[in-house]
Amino acid sequence: MTEPSTTVTTIADGIARISWTGEEPIDVIRHNVVAALADHARVEALVDPDDEGAQRAATWSGLRREGVMRGVTVDGAPVDRIVYARLATDTPLHEPEGFRALLNSFLPRKRAIGQMLVRDRDGRVLLCHLTYKTDWDLPGGVVEVNESPRVAVGREIKEELGLDIAPGGLVLADWLPAWSGWDDAVCLVFDGGTHDAALTETIVREAREIRTAEFCTPAQVRDRCADFTARRIEAALANVDAGRGPSYTESGR
């Protein structure tokens, strides 16, 4: 049986890499991290994604999770490794901010998408034909880090269509499972109100992302959109038409 041991190696100017074998006590790993930071600006560890024990040890020794490095060569073969690190400038763990930052580094995060349901007086829905996919979708986009979903959808409408439409209330929360290279996400649909059909004449397209934007009938929505998008729009319309509050769906169901 391999005896527990910890190794600290300087791999670049100001950067140390720490590794351990066996069931090394967390206190020992933590002590080595602190000692290494006396002479280095950064201490990092590369941890096997399948080794949950090593991931726990990295975390509770004070190393923050930074992401996954793909294709690292180990014993001549490419493998993935989770990168954990601590900087000399990080807030100490005994302070609340430091502990919260540690937790924040490894707790799950979920992508959020903000979209707007904009209709004309005939009940048609504003759809965008995007440059990077064949199907049509509601106007909107991904919520940036530390951005309100409501602010995000207003920003996206302004940037991509040149429209100043204040987002109304939430109409629908739709969860999208992981699909075709995408992680799962939550799509929040906000009410964009009812407008004259001539609204489309004022659109200024962001040509890199928007081919065209049109008001579409329910039949055109089903024909032009992916099935889950069509279901989402139909669910959002049902809520608005019934005058009820937002509902929750999964892929529009």
Kindly give, in sequence order, each residue whose CB lies less than 8 Å from that of residue 238, ignoring residues fewer than 6 positions away: none
**233: part of which helix (H) or strand (E)?**
helix 227-242
pLDDT digits 0-9 by tens, 189-238: 999 999 999 999 999 999 999 999 999 999 999 999 999 999 999 999 99
pLDDT bucket at 2, cuts 50 / 70 / 90: low
Kindly give, in sequence order, each residue whose CB lies less than 8 Å from that of residue 151, ignoring residues fewer than 6 positions away: none
Q: How far apart are the C-alpha atoms of 248 and 63, rounded to whole Å?
A: 37
Q: How far apart are the C-alpha atoms of 129 and 210, rounded to whole Å?
A: 6
78 and 128 together in one domain:
no
Pairing state between β 170-176 and 185-195: antiparallel
pLDDT digits 0-9 by tens, 103-123: 999 999 999 999 999 999 999
The mean pLDDT of the chain is 96
Q: What percent of the chain has pLDDT over 70?
A: 99
Q: Per-residue b/e over 152-179, b at no fewer than 16 CB within 10 Å?
A: bbbbbbeebbebebebeebbbbbebeee
Average pLDDT over residues 159-163: 98
Of the listed ranges 20-24, 93-97, 183-187, the least confidently predicted one is: 20-24
pLDDT bucket at 37, cuts 50 / 70 / 90: very high
Q: What share of the chain is helix, strand, coil (3-state, %, to 5)?
A: 30, 40, 35
135 and 221 together in one domain:
yes
**Full domain range(s) for residue 51:** 5-106
Of the candidates 106, 66, 100, the one whose C-alpha atom is nearest the C-alpha of residue 85 is 66
Q: Tokens 């020794």: give the residue.
A: 61
| φ, ψ dihedrals at 176, nearest 5° | -110, 120
Q: How far apart are the C-alpha atoms of 186 and 27, rounded to whole Å?
A: 39
pLDDT bucket at 89, cuts 50 / 70 / 90: very high
Q: Which of 182 and 78 is assigned the larger pLDDT?
A: 78
Average pLDDT over residues 53-65: 96
How high is the pLDDT of residue 22?
Answer: 81
154 and 98 together in one domain:
no
- pLDDT exceeds 60 at position 16: yes
Of the candidates 32, 28, 18, 23, the one whose C-alpha atom is nearest the C-alpha of residue 2 is 23
How high is the pLDDT of residue 75?
Answer: 87
What's the predicted TM-score (pTM) here? 0.88
149 and 82 together in one domain:
no
How high is the pLDDT of residue 164?
Answer: 97
**Number of domains the chain contains:** 2
Average pLDDT over residues 163-169: 97
- pLDDT exceeds 80 at position 1: no
80 and 135 together in one domain:
no
29 and 89 together in one domain:
yes
CATH number of the domain encompassing residue 203:
3.90.79.10
Of the candidates 38, 48, 36, the one whose C-alpha atom is nearest the C-alpha of residue 10 is 36
How high is the pLDDT of residue 181?
Answer: 87
Q: Which residues pair with 173 in a beta bridge?
A: 188, 248
Of the candidates 195, 109, 200, 113, the one whose C-alpha atom is nearest the C-alpha of residue 150 is 113
Q: Which of 85, 106, 127 is the last residue of a domain?
A: 106
How high is the pLDDT of residue 70?
Answer: 96
